[in-house]
């Protein structure tokens, strides 16, 4: 297929572009930042540029992973987020309809699901971790989440009005920057990311593979929204204990983890405030992340010459 990939110079675009080409697709990268993966340097907010890019390259599918992200809040105004994340998505959707594009994959974020109450660990008035599925009604806490949710609604609207197959992927954390969640313990970046694979992270490689799965399934599914995160070992009835004493819950599922972590000098979060349930992606999209917390423990055991 001839694919337009926005955000092609970004962390996800750099992983996704080569994979798409290896599958035989022709990829046209569009990004404001030049890179080896980007053929068109420009913004999705430039409507004429977007229309021309889709038309002139005879694009058959669009993967829209370009956006202003949460870390950009410190450097950009709210109107910049609206222009890029909302108007930019609208431009791409209009270009898709005008040129007969039949597959649209939108990179959204689990961040839009996290309200201030959830960050504080309160669910329904009780202090417990929240179990997050696609069925909840999001309450974005910042301009990033608000604009990504608005863009999701546009994708759904264009499917309803124009029959455009559009898949929304609410990806958990996969970027390389340090975590912004305040923990009571000091941890290395590798330690933090390993812990997050239990409930709110995936690798960029898995994120890229999820987009490829969505691209393939879009015509069959029509429109759907999926949380994409590493599979969690936890169950819904773990939520109170996860807030109160997360290490004890983790140890129930992985009895070897305390020894492996101690030998590495790692620690587990004392409290976990949320769990992303990616079972819908497994059941409807046929996608499961390859990397999980169990794989981290197996790697630690291999380093120590211990059984996994």
What's the pLDDT at 117? 73
Q: What is the pLDDT of residues 61-96, one digit of tens each?
A: 999 999 998 888 888 899 999 999 999 999 999 999
Contact present, 109 and 81 (Cβ < 8 Å):
no
**CATH number, domain containing residue 106:** 3.40.50.720
Q: What is the pLDDT of residues 255-267, one digit of tens each?
A: 999 999 999 999 9
Task: Name the strand (E) or helix (H) holding 274.
Answer: strand 274-276
**Average pLDDT in the chain:** 92
- pLDDT beyond 90 at 178: no
What's the pLDDT at 181? 47
List all residues 6 or more positions away from 136 whose beta carbon is below 8 Å from its beta carbon.
113
Is the model's pTM score more than 0.85?
yes
- pLDDT beyond 80 at 118: no
Q: What is the pLDDT of residues 226-247, one digit of tens each?
A: 999 999 999 999 999 999 999 9
Mean of pLDDT values over 24-37: 97
- For residue 210, give the nearest of 154, 159, 173, 171 by alpha carbon: 171
DSSP secondary structure letters along 283-308: III----S--HHHHHHHHHHHHT---
Structural domains counted in the chain: 1
CA distance 71 to 245: 30
- pLDDT beyond 60 at 183: no
What's the pLDDT at 177? 66
- Label residue 182 by pLDDT band (50, 70, 90): very low
Q: What share of the chain in percent tops pLDDT 70? A: 92
Q: Which domain does 67 fall in, by range?
A: 2-304
């Amino acid at each position: 297929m001839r694919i337009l990939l926005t955000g092609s110079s970004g962390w996800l675009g750099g992983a996704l572009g080569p994979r798409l080409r290896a599958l035989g697709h022709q990829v046209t990268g569009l990004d404001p930042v030049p890179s080896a993966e980007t053929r068109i340097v420009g913004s999705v907010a430039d409507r004429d540029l977007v229309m021309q890019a889709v038309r002139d390259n005879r694009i058959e599918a669009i993967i829209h992973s370009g956006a202003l992200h949460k870390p950009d809040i410190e450097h950009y105004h709210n109107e910049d987020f609206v222009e890029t994340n909302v108007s930019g998505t609208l431009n791409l959707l209009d270009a898709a309809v005008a040129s007969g594009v039949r597959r649209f994959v939108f990179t959204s974020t689990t961040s839009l699901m996290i309200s201030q109450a959830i960050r504080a660990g309160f669910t329904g008035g009780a202090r417990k971790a929240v179990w997050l599925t696609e069925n909840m009604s999001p309450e974005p806490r910042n301009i990033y989440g608000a604009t990504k949710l608005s863009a999701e609604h546009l994708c759904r609207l264009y499917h309803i009005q124009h029959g455009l197959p559009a898949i929304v992927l609410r990806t958990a954390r996969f970027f390389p920057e340090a975590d912004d969640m305040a923990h009571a313990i000091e941890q290395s970046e590798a330690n933090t990311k390993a812990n997050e694979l239990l409930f709110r992270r995936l690798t960029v490689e898995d994120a890229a593979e999820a987009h490829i799965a969505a691209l393939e399934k879009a015509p069959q599914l029509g429109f759907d929204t999926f949380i994409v995160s590493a599979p969690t070992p936890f169950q819904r009835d773990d939520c109170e204990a996860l807030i109160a004493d997360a290490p004890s819950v983790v140890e129930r599922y992985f009895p070897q983890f305390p020894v492996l972590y101690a030998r590495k000098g790692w620690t587990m979060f004392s409290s976990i405030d949320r769990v992303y349930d990616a079972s819908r992606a497994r059941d409807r999209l046929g996608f499961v992340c390859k990397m999980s917390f169990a794989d981290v423990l197996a790697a630690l055991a291999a380093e120590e010459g211990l059984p996994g």
